[in-house]
Amino acid sequence: MEGWKYDNCDAAAAGNLGRALGADITLQGYAGVGLTQNANSKTTWMLGKKTMTTLYNYTLQTDDSKTPEIFDLKAAHQKAGAERALIISLGGNDYNHQKGHVPSNESFVAAYVAFLDQLLSSYGYAPQAELGSEKADDSGLPAPTLISVCGQGSPIEAKEDPDNNRCRPCPHVEDATKVRRFFLALGMIGIAHPVSDTLAGLQ
């Protein structure tokens, strides 16, 4: 079915990329969910306050119980016995439809860097594994490659809805990837550090 009309994620970027690479894909996505806050965060909303930092490994993302079932990403990774790429597309909901209540660049960058570390940890790796120095327990597989993307969406969205510009978070995502590469190069990942000072030095 045509993707835009039927919200068919198999016809969206993830499905198309998986077919192009001949790769199996799994997709964790929920309309309106952000990294630091969800869309329309100042209004009562069906998802409450849980963001993707909490929902990313839920077996069922609508599970609002106190003990939701958590998908074991590390076990699935090792069972598959194949290298992985993790594509992270977050930020649009943090900055769109917020009536000006958006995160600062520093707070978004800090949250984004921390989330990438959190993802690697869920797969059984220390952050430094991206440098190729660590293997997963019992698998010998390299750490997943992290790929940050932003933008996308319908090309006419911004025209129809000026407060829904999918490219709005792109500078913040770009800053986050720069900061994380800098921290990795210095072995500072996982250590408390002033993001604002690092951002100033990278400008």
- pLDDT per residue as tens digits for the range 115-148: 998 998 898 887 666 665 555 555 677 788 889 9
Domain count of the fold of the chain = 1
Listed residue (167, 184, 176, 170) closest to 202, CA to CA: 176
Give the CATH number, domain containing residue 76.
Answer: 3.40.50.1110
- Collapsing DSSP to helix, strand or coil, 165 comes out as coil
97: left (phi over 0), alpha (psi -120 to 50) or beta: left
Q: 46 and 104 in contact (C-beta within 8 Å)?
A: no
Cβ-in-10-Å burial (0-12, 13-18, 19+) of 4 comes to: exposed
The answer to whether 102 touches 160, Cβ cutoff 8 Å, is no
The model's pTM is: 0.84
Report the pLDDT value the prediction gives residue 184, as an integer from 0 to 100: 76
Cα separations (Å) of 13 from 2, 10, 70, 179, 201?
13, 8, 25, 26, 34
The pLDDT of residue 194 is above 70:
no
**Domain with 176 in it:** 3-202
Range in 24-33, 65-74, 140-149, 155-164 the model is least confident about: 155-164
Q: Are 59 and 90 in contact (CB under 8 A)?
A: no
The Cα–Cα gap between 90 and 83 comes to 23
